[in-house]
Copies of this chain bind each other. A is one copy, B any other.
């Protein structure tokens, strides 16, 4: 089985991080290919850049879908799943949906801990659109963008833990691809389940493929 994962930003270290985490979630026999757009904004610091990055994601999907059994979009709250699904003949999974999907199996209400303040309304609106807001306790910002989350790892982990401790939900969802890999440390620190949507999406992609959906 082959899973294509597309990181919407073009921060190399972030793509590398996602590759590590996504690959670790692959079953024997599953090949995970991680990529990011060939052109477009590097860091996505606004709605305009987010929308432009989606085109780069679609281009990647279009050129690399051949042979993929499922596709994972690794941007949290970002647009494009419906369009990518239209291009691909295989399941397209968005980490924005995969995180809450698992969180709702593990707890009654979940809290999303995301990157910057400006991401909060975007994530809230996306969860509302998907009818995934009914059990979302809140969306909290760390104030850290992708470069800081990926580049200043120790500090980022400490901030994520601090914010996660304030969560009202009984499960926490890491609401940014740049937080990939932090779940075990955060879970241990706060004593509650923490869902990392990147490996969650890779697992769910394999599940859909194995079940023939």
Contact = CB atoms under 8 A, between A and B. Distances in A.
A107 to B, nearest CB: 10
Given A79-B79, A105-B98, A207-B204, A213 B184 contact: no
Contacts of A27: 27
Interface in A75-129: 79-80, 82-87, 91, 93, 97-98, 101-102, 104-106, 108, 121-122, 125, 128-129
A51 B25 contact: no
23 contacts: A25-B210, A25-B211, A46-B86, A48-B58, A48-B86, A48-B87, A51-B54, A51-B55, A52-B55, A55-B55, A91-B105, A97-B104, A98-B105, A101-B102, A101-B104, A102-B211, A102-B213, A125-B129, A131-B135, A195-B213, A196-B211, A203-B211, A207-B207
Given A91-B105, A104-B97, A106-B208, A83 B51 contact: yes
6 smallest beta-carbon distances between A and B, as pairs: A131-B134, A47-B83, A203-B207, A48-B83, A129-B129, A47-B82
